[in-house]
Structure 1
Amino acid sequence: MPETLENIVAIDDELSHRHIDLDPAGYFIIYLDLEAKLICAKHFTNVINEQGLAVDPETGKVIPAKGKVERTQTTLFTGRTAKELCVKIFEETDPCPVTMLDHAAYLGREFMSAQKALLSGEDYVQD
C-alpha cells in the first residue's frame, strides 16, 4: 500500500518525540536570513551533565529545551545551500563541531528543510 502524505507526516511527527542523546560538542540554532538568502546555523557549546542534560559551560546552568535563552554563539555558519553549509561545518571546520553521527544526520535533514523553505518562501521552523 503506498504511503500517503498524511502517513509520512505522522511517521516524522512520532520520530520527532523520541529520546536523543545530546552531542557533547554543542548544539545549533538554525534560521533563515531571507534578505541575504542564507541558511544560518549558530553553534553553541555545552557540557552534558550526569543526568544527560545540556549545561552552559560558563554558568553551569541547565539549558532549557524550550523557551528563550540568552547565550552568545561560539560560531555562526552560513550557506546558500544545505550542501554548502554542510561542507563548511563538516569538512572545513577543524575540529568539527559535531561529534555524533545522529546529530550530523539531523543537521543534514534540517538544512535541507531550511533550503526548501528558503527557495519556496515558506516559513522555516527547526524540528
Structure 2
Amino acid sequence: MKNIDLQKDLIPSIKLLDDKLSKRQIDLDPKGYFLIKIEPLTNELILEHYLNNIDQKGRAIDPESGEPISCKTKNRNQPSNIYRGKSAKQVGIQISEGHGPFPISCLDHAIYIGRELQRAEQCLTSGKEYIQD
C-alpha cells in the first residue's frame, strides 16, 4: 500500500520539478547540437550532429542567413556526422569514448544527451513515439 501512495505523490512531484528545471537558462555547446530520432524499421537510435554558430546573445544562428535557429525551425542544414546504434549506451560511447575529437564539449550537454538517448531507447523498445525534449 505504501508503494502505491509513494508513486502517486512522487511521480507528479518529479514531473513538476523537471518542468521547472526545463525552463532554466542554459548555454549552447559551441561544438554544435544533436537531433535524436528513432528508426523502428531497423530498431536503431539515430543521433545527428549539427555544427552551429553562436551569436553574442548565446543563440544558435544559421551559418548562411545569420538568423537565430528556433527549436521549431525545419532543419535545412546537413548533419556533420550521424551516429547509429541499438542502445543508448552504444550511441553514447560513440560520442564520448576513444581518441576523439568529440562532438560535445559541455558537461551539461553530455548529460542531457544521455538522458534523451535513454528516453529514445525506451520509446523504441515500447513502440511509443519519441519527441526530443
- Number of the residue aligned with 2:15: 9
Matched, 1:74 2:80: yes
- Paired positions, count: 127
Q: 1:116 aligns with which of 95, 117, 122?
A: 122
TM-score normalized by structure 1?
0.91
Aligned residues of 1:25 and 1:45 also touching (Cα < 8 A): yes
Structure 1, unmatched stretches of 5+, are none
Q: Larger C-alpha radius of gyration, 1 or 2?
A: 2
Note the aligned Cα RMSD (angstroms): 1.7
Report the counterpart of residue 42 of structure 1 in structure 2.
48
Compared with structure 1, are the counterparts of its residues 81 and 105 closer, same or farther at alpha carbon in structure 2 (3 Å cutoff)? same
Equivalence for 2:100:
94
Q: Structure 2 counterpart of 1:5, which letter? A: I
1:35: how far off? Answer: 0.3
Percent identity over paired residues: 39
TM-score (norm 2): 0.87
Matched residue SS, 1:4: helix
Letter in 2 for 1:11: L
**Aligned counterparts of 1:9 and 1:64: Cα–Cα separation in 2:** 25
Distance 1:42 1:93 in 2: 20
Q: Secondary structure at the match of 1:29?
A: strand
Which of 27-36 and 3-12 deviates more? 3-12
Structure 1 residue ranges (4+ consecutive) displaced by more than 6 angstroms after TM superposition: none
Q: Which has the higher helix share?
A: 2
In structure 2, stretches of 5+ residues that fail to align are none
Structure 1 stretch displaced more, 54-63 or 90-99: 54-63
